[in-house]
Amino acid sequence: MNDENSYSVANISGDILAPNLSGIASFKPYKDGTMVEVEISGLPGYNNYGLYQIEINNGSGCMINQSGSFSGITSIYNPTNSIYPFQSGDMPPLFSNNGYAYMKFYTTRFKYYEIEGKLVVIKSNNRKIGCGKIEKYA
C-alpha cells in the first residue's frame, strides 16, 4: 500500500458563513506515516487573522443543509479511542493571514489510505465552516 505515486486528496469548500473558503488537503506516504499538506484561502477572520481547528472526521459527506451548514459530518476519526488532542484525526491548527493558511506536517497517526472516504473539517468557534471528502488520487 505504500506506493509513492498514490496519495489522497480532499477538495475543501465553505458553508454559508464562509462562502469564499476553498482549498486542498493532500495526504502522501512518507517514511512510516503520512505527510499532510493543507492550503486554504477565503478563511473568515477578525482583523484579517484567525486560528482555525482542522481535523479528520467520519461521516457520509459535506452536504449543505437548508440552514446553510454542513450535514453528514459525524465524529472525529479516532480508531484508537484516544483523548483530545491525541486522537488520530486531530491536526495542528490553521493560522490565517488575511484569509490564507498553509501548513505541512508529518504524522504517524494514520496512513494516507486509512483515511480515504473520511472528511477534512475546518472549524471556527466550534462551527464547521469548511469540509472536503478525502479521495484516492492515483
pLDDT category of residue 49 using cuts at 50, 70 and 90: confident
* Mean pLDDT confidence for 28-40: 97
- Over its C-alpha atoms, the chain yields an Rg (Å, rounded) of 14
Reading the block at residue 23, the C-alpha cell is 482549498
What is the rounded distance in angstroms from the CA atom of residue 3 to the CA atom of residue 102?
25
Neighbours of 56 (CB within 10 A): 25
Per-residue pLDDT reduced to its tens digit, 73-127: 999 999 999 999 999 999 999 999 999 999 999 999 999 999 999 999 999 988 9
